[in-house]
Structures are given as structure tokens and as C-alpha cells.
Amino acid sequence: MLNLGESIKQVNKDIAKLKESMKRHEGRDDETANKFKSKLASMEDHLNELKKSEVTIESEQRHRNNKKKLAIF
């Protein structure tokens, strides 16, 4: 869970850097700007996958905690 959170933070930083680079090249070099756009889309997809994994893990942890509480009685 901790590694997943760190990965999400890193991907967010990378996305910010890509957006900044894309803005720099947008008016000058269309080919490079398009490459940044495709990289950005790929990174955003990766971020969404990480967030889905985080939600899945959190729900599994809640489920296990609830099950443990019920098992005590």
C-alpha cells in the first residue's frame, strides 16, 4: 500500500513535468508536442490503473477488518 502511494505521487510528478514540456513545445514543434501528448495519455492511463488498484486494496482491507471483527463474536 505504501509503495502504491509513492508510485501514485511519482506518476503525478511525471505528469506535471510532461504537461510543462508539452506547453513549451506546443507552439514550436508539433511533432514533439504530439509525442508528449501520447506520453501524457499513457501516463494518465497508468495513473488511473494505480488508483483502481489502490481502491481495490483498500476495499479488501476493509473487508478483512470487518470479517475479523465479526469472527470475534
Place of cell 507552439: 27
Cα–Cα distance for residue pair 59/61, rounded to 1 Å: 5
pLDDT value at residue 10: 96
pLDDT tens digits, one per residue of 13-55: 999 999 998 888 888 888 888 898 999 999 999 999 999 999 9
Instruction: Describe the crossing of helices 2-26 and 30-72 by its angle, rounded to 10 degrees.
Output: 160
**What's the confidence (pLDDT) of residue 72?**
67
Question: Which of 70, 10, 73 minimizes the C-alpha distance to 43?
Answer: 10
Give pTM, 2 decimals: 0.78
